[in-house]
Amino acid sequence: MSSALIGIIMGSDSDLPVMEQAVEILNEMEIPYELTIVSAHRTPDRMVEYSKSAYARGLKVIIAGAGGAAHLPGMVASQTTLPVIGVPIKSSNSIDGWDSILSILQMPNGIPVATVALNAAKNAGILAARMLSPFSEEITKKLEQFRKVNEIKVLQAVEKVKK
């Protein structure tokens, strides 16, 4: 997609089923994004290149998903001034996902990563949209619509379970 505002990256193609939730919500809100694989430990040069060029390429937020010793979001955040949202992914050999959660959540002072819940790539997409919202009426309207739809769904459920 051209003129991407949000960069979605992940450490491995095995993370894709989770990260697709972010893709879906951004498609729904019609916010341009780019999607690719960048591994902190398998392609360190590519990670540096991606992070250092992100701002100049017009990205406003980076969503980075990783599992295991999940240093991708933190390493990317260390090389850009853009906000980075980390998605801890429960990979196949994980310690119930705690390895990814703690690796991403426990960033030392000075290099923040906004961490969402385990496998919560949808929330990462929504949070990225919210970060852009103060600068775009169009995105704000999409977020309002999204909130409204959620509200209606709950009110319909209230009616359904009422006795």
Contact positions toward ligand RP5, by CB under 6 A?
10-12, 14-15, 39, 66-68, 89, 91
Amino acid found at 46: R
Find the helix packing angle between 137-161 and 121-132, rounded to 10°: 140
CB-nearer residue toward ligand RP5: 68 or 125: 68
Q: Is the CB of 27 or the CB of 39 nearer to ligand RP5? A: 39
Q: Which of 75, 69, 9 is nearest to 38 (CA)?
A: 9
* 130 marked among binding-site residues: no
Min dist CB 124 to ligand RP5, Å, is 14
Nearer to ligand RP5 by Cβ, of 122 and 142: the residue is 122
| 3-state class (DSSP) for residue 45 | helix
C-alpha–C-alpha distance, residues 1 and 29, integer Å: 14
3 is in an annotated binding site: no
Token reading at 117:
């819940």
Kindly state the smallest distance separating residue 42's Cβ from ligand RP5, in Å: 7
Q: Least distance (Å) from ligand RP5 to the CB of residue 66? A: 4
Q: Is 15 annotated as a binding residue?
A: yes
Residue with tokens 């341009």: 32
Residue 24 in contact with residue 123, Cβ under 8 Å? no
Least Å from the CB of residue 79 to ligand RP5: 17
Q: Which two tokens stand for residue 7?
A: 């960069």
Nearer to ligand RP5, 10 or 84 (CB): 10
**160 vs 21: CA distance, rounded Å:** 27
Which amino acids are annotated as binding site, given as ranges?
A: 12, 15, 42
Which amino acids are annotated as binding site for substrate, given as ranges?
A: 12, 15, 42
